[in-house]
Chain A
Amino acid sequence: MPTDEPLASSPSSAGTPGPARRRPGESHARAWHGTGWGFVVKLVIMAAINAVGLAIVWSAYVEGSWGILAGTLALTVAANWVYFSKRSLPSKYLFPGLAFLLIFQLFTMAYTFNVAMTNYGTGHNSTQEQAVDALLIQNERAVEGAETYPLTVLQRDGEIGFALLADGQVLVGDAETALAAEPQATVDGDSVTAVPGWDVVDRATLLGDQSLQQQVLDLRVPVSDDSDDGSIRTREGTRGTVYQSTLDWDPQADTLTDTETGVVYVARDDGRFVADDGSALPVGWQVYVGFDNFVRGFTDTNYAGPFWRITAWTFAFAILTVATSFLMGLWMAVVFNDARIRGRKVMRMLFILPYAFPAFLSALLWRGMLNANPDYGIINNLFFFGARIEWLSDPWLAKLAIILVNLWLSFPYWFLVCTGALQSLPNDVLEAARIDGASRWRTWTTITPPLLLISTAPLIIAAFAFNFNNFTIIYMLTEGRPRFTDTSAVLGHTDILITMIYQISGVAGGRADYGLASALSIIVFLVVGVISAFAFRRTRKLEEIL
């Protein structure tokens, strides 16, 4: 970013205060005067950043993660340019924040759109090639009547391999290299005792090491370079058997054939192998499905019904929550903004206690207090004479409870805001109204609210947008319960859109559907965007901000 700010190019001194000794026009970043400690510190920090950047680039190269490699490289180069160039004073201040913003907000937002266009999720999380591999491995069976061979487990730099004794010959191989004869190995009876380049793992070590055992059970050593020959696997670490997949992969025709039943599974555009009878293999791959996910949100029988009810409740929840707490806060501000009341500061401190109590703790606490059993729930016990009121398991009462708890949580905020706004109302306007003979009632109804709304309207819109996605209160209080009875999806009457997305996404466990969840996220993005655009127009009017 070039600058026309005189500050940037003016010859002022660098490092320590004193007469300017730097050549005019040279960046103070590259200058060395006096002790120049600031420059040393910067050099050390930049060296560290470059070291970390290069390390990440290297391991991304090793892993083949080209996106991460490119991103890290770009950021590292940008950091060096920003901090060693004389032309970019403002970006020196902006760079750190922008770097985080780019990676963890802008990129993730864009990536959400990308994921929404795919069928990414459980059963569809890799390329077709990887899906075929996974299917071939999953369907491996010991070959009928195949011979078993004495087997010895080998170890080398954390990798394991097998040594096999077949026809008096020792064959050695590991996950990547197929079995090959190793004439220099020494044999004692049925077991291999030494293999050049490998350590032989004895039985005692194998039995004593759980993770090694698992590695051995998972290891497949290809019999030859042709994958159709199958691979050697072992069940107990001493005998190896040839396993072959019951599926046969034909890359030309893009089909998998079950060699036992003869069923042909054809690769389809939706990322699955499907047979003529409609049955599909369990592992698919990731493909772009366009706007299918958006359509599915509205049409899938599992989601369509709940989706509309949840959307309606989300709006109802956000509107009611903001309306009730704003009105209560405003009313309190009006009532207690009275100089004749004593102890107003103490009162204010007590009123805002719920606001100062962390929201997630409040929600969990209310969940306990609203327990239907009066032996445990103090609300029923104390205020409803021990009646058993199902606050959290009746659809309507649960909604009411959420609104009331959120009212408790947020009225102090509006009380503070409205008190502040009332106190900053222009006195001359109110005075003019009084001189003109307006009654107090008239002043309250026609003059104060419009003035008050000027400063609070943007906050009301912001609060609405916030509550629209108020995950914590819903999840902590009810987790969306009570559950809908007419769908198999894990959704309930008090779910709002964000908790619905959380449930569908499966990021916290269970079946994942990243594509559908991302598509729903985008719908919520759009709703929030429309609300925000409205707020933005209002904020634009406060021109001093920009």
Chain B
Amino acid sequence: MATTTQAAPARVAARPAPGRRRRWLVDVAWKYPVAILLVFYAAFPLAYVLSAAVASSGTLTGSTELFRSVSTANVTALGETQFWRWMANTLIIAGSTAVGSVLMGAAAAYAFSRFRFTGRRGGLTALLIIQMFPQMLAFISIFLLLLALGNVVPVLGLNSKLALICVYLGGALGTNTFLMYGFFNTIPREIDEAAKIDGATHAQTYWTIIVRLVTPILAVVALLSFVGPFGDFILARIILTSERNWTLAVGMYAWVSDQLNANWGLFAAGAVIASLPILALFLFLQKYIVGGLTAGSVKG
């Protein structure tokens, strides 16, 4: 897909004059073998896990031949485990968190961007400071809080997916408001004012005009708020105590953490299936993500 657009300048640079040709060799040619090496480094483990997923044996063997055997045994075997339930749990938890984070973050960013109220500057500064303290570090008091809440409202106690979603939503404002705030500021206020003159209510202006204009940043925040809970281990491990409620991170860790009973065949098949949606989203939203990343979010 990309080669066609890049080909034209490359050809111009590559063809004429012998001096230029030598220059091309020195400047550009060596980059292709380097690229191949780097692609190997980046993609080898993934090709390997794909190969192990479709292999007929249940271990991560040290075979030198990738894709020596192809079978669906590992994938079928997933049906006999809780894998699909964990997958559903993870999608529910990460999906709800993503939707909630986008709704709350966008509303807050809109308020900070459009209204001038007392405490606005202080609020922004406070959020900036709060976002620097990882919520994860307070996991003990989150655990104790849910322990106490569970006595009063069992549905918000330990071993509740809703409780875990609420905990993740607690970090929604801190991590996303700034990302969105900057983007909201780029939407001219004249648009709001025109809508108001035309008789739109606040709610109408917000939902039908503003939200549509900021869709790209909403997509990025949704993706990042989805990926976070998708890969979170520590809070999910503490809060979701029964195996039926586990997420993929907790469940698949349990599969391979035991040296003697490690089930690598299942893990490989599960890893490939679990990563497909995120892999697709990342490659699809690549160009938006670069903008989103440079605006301040990190993955290790």
Report whether B201 and A12 are in contact in the complex, using a CB–CB cutoff of 8 Å. yes
Query: With the chains together, A352 CA to B65 CA distance in Å?
Result: 25
Is the contact region of chain A dominated by helix, strand, or loop, or is it mixed?
helix
Report whether B125 and A546 are in contact in the complex, using a CB–CB cutoff of 8 Å. yes
Report whether A340 and B152 are in contact in the complex, using a CB–CB cutoff of 8 Å. no
- Say whether A56 faces chain B, with CB atoms less than 8 Å apart: yes
Given contacts A56-B153, A413-B300, A518-B141, 7 further A-B contacts (CB under 8 A): A7-B114, A68-B149, A341-B10, A346-B3, A361-B274, A366-B45, A545-B182
- Chain A: which residue is nearest B234 at the CB level? A471
Report whether B111 and A368 are in contact in the complex, using a CB–CB cutoff of 8 Å. no
Most B CB atoms within 10 A — which of A10, A98, A107, A350? A350
Distance in angstroms from B33 CB to nearest chain A CB is 12
Chain A residues whose CB sits within 8 angstroms of the CB of B201 once the complex forms: 12-15, 17, 28, 38
Chain B residues whose CB sits within 8 angstroms of the CB of A541 once the complex forms: none
- Say whether B212 faces chain A, with CB atoms less than 8 Å apart: no
Report whether A525 and B133 are in contact in the complex, using a CB–CB cutoff of 8 Å. yes
Report whether B199 and A338 are in contact in the complex, using a CB–CB cutoff of 8 Å. no
- Say whether A362 faces chain B, with CB atoms less than 8 Å apart: yes
Q: Which of A1, A359, A364, A508 contacts B118 (CB 8 A)?
A: A1
Chain B residues whose CB sits within 8 angstroms of the CB of A97 once the complex forms: 104-105, 107-108, 172-173, 177
Chain A residues whose CB sits within 8 angstroms of the CB of B138 once the complex forms: 105, 108-109, 111-112, 521
- Chain A: which residue is nearest B169 at the CB level? A100
Report whether B298 and A462 are in contact in the complex, using a CB–CB cutoff of 8 Å. yes
Q: How large is the interface on A (under 10, 10 to 19, 20 to 34, 35 or more residues)?
A: 35 or more
- Chain B: which residue is nearest A4 at the CB level? B116
Beta-carbon contacts of A1-20 to B below 8 Å, as 1s and 0s? Answer: 11111011010111101100
Q: Which of B10, B132, B166 contacts A532 (CB 8 A)?
A: B132
Q: A96-B104, A354-B46, A358-B231 are in contact. Are A417 and B293 (CB under 8 A)?
A: yes
Query: With the chains together, A367 CA to B9 CA distance in Å?
Result: 44
Q: Which of B6, B39, B203, B296 contacts A339 (CB 8 A)?
A: B6
Task: Please give the residue numbers on chain B whose beta carbons come within 8 Å of chain A beta carbons, in ascending order.
Answer: 1-3, 5-7, 9-10, 13-14, 24, 27-28, 31-32, 34-35, 38-39, 41-43, 45-46, 48-49, 59-64, 103-105, 107-108, 110-111, 114-121, 123-125, 128-130, 132-145, 148-149, 151-153, 166-167, 169-174, 177-178, 181-182, 192, 196, 198-204, 227, 230-234, 237-238, 249, 252-253, 256-257, 262, 264, 267-268, 271, 274-275, 278-279, 282-283, 286, 289-291, 293-294, 296, 298-300
Distance in angstroms from A368 CB to nearest chain B CB is 4
Query: With the chains together, A330 CA to B233 CA distance in Å?
Result: 30
Chain A residues whose CB sits within 8 angstroms of the CB of B141 once the complex forms: 107-109, 111-112, 114-115, 518
Report whether A376 and B299 are in contact in the complex, using a CB–CB cutoff of 8 Å. no
Chain A residues whose CB sits within 8 angstroms of the CB of B227 once the complex forms: 358
Report whether B200 and A17 are in contact in the complex, using a CB–CB cutoff of 8 Å. yes
Report whether B125 and A382 are in contact in the complex, using a CB–CB cutoff of 8 Å. no
Q: A38-B203, A105-B135 are in contact. Are A12 and B196 (CB under 8 A)?
A: yes
Query: With the chains together, A354 CA to B125 CA distance in Å?
Result: 34
- Say whether A70 faces chain B, with CB atoms less than 8 Å apart: no
Q: A15-B201, A59-B152, A101-B173 are in contact. Are A364 and B253 (CB under 8 A)?
A: yes
Query: With the chains together, A323 CA to B104 CA distance in Å?
Result: 35
Report whether A353 and B43 are in contact in the complex, using a CB–CB cutoff of 8 Å. yes
Query: With the chains together, A378 CA to B264 CA distance in Å?
Result: 13
Report whether B170 and A368 are in contact in the complex, using a CB–CB cutoff of 8 Å. no
Query: With the chains together, A365 CA to B60 CA distance in Å?
Result: 9
Chain A residues whose CB sits within 8 angstroms of the CB of B252 once the complex forms: 360-361, 364
Beta-carbon contacts of A483-508 to B below 8 Å, as 1s and 0s? Answer: 00000000000000010011001011
Report whether B14 and A340 are in contact in the complex, using a CB–CB cutoff of 8 Å. yes
Query: With the chains together, A12 CA to B200 CA distance in Å?
Result: 8
Chain A residues whose CB sits within 8 angstroms of the CB of B34 once the complex forms: 335
In the complex, 15 of the A-B residue pairs with CB atoms within 8 angstroms, ordered by the A residue number, are A2-B117, A90-B117, A93-B115, A100-B173, A101-B173, A103-B145, A112-B138, A335-B31, A356-B283, A360-B231, A362-B45, A369-B60, A412-B42, A466-B300, A535-B132
From 368 to 422 in chain A, residues with beta carbon under 8 angstroms from any chain B beta carbon are 368-369, 371, 374-378, 380-382, 386, 406, 408-410, 412-413, 416-417, 419-421
Report whether B290 and A338 are in contact in the complex, using a CB–CB cutoff of 8 Å. no
- Say whether A351 faces chain B, with CB atoms less than 8 Å apart: yes
- Say whether A524 faces chain B, with CB atoms less than 8 Å apart: yes
Beta-carbon contacts of A269-289 to B below 8 Å, as 1s and 0s? Answer: 000000000000000000000
Chain A residues whose CB sits within 8 angstroms of the CB of B28 once the complex forms: 338, 340-341
Chain A residues whose CB sits within 8 angstroms of the CB of B274 once the complex forms: 358, 361
Q: Which of B62, B136, B153, B294 contacts A471 (CB 8 A)?
A: B136
Query: With the chains together, A311 CA to B152 CA distance in Å?
Result: 39
Beta-carbon contacts of A54-69 to B below 8 Å, as 1s and 0s? Answer: 0110011001010110
Chain A residues whose CB sits within 8 angstroms of the CB of B169 once the complex forms: 100, 104
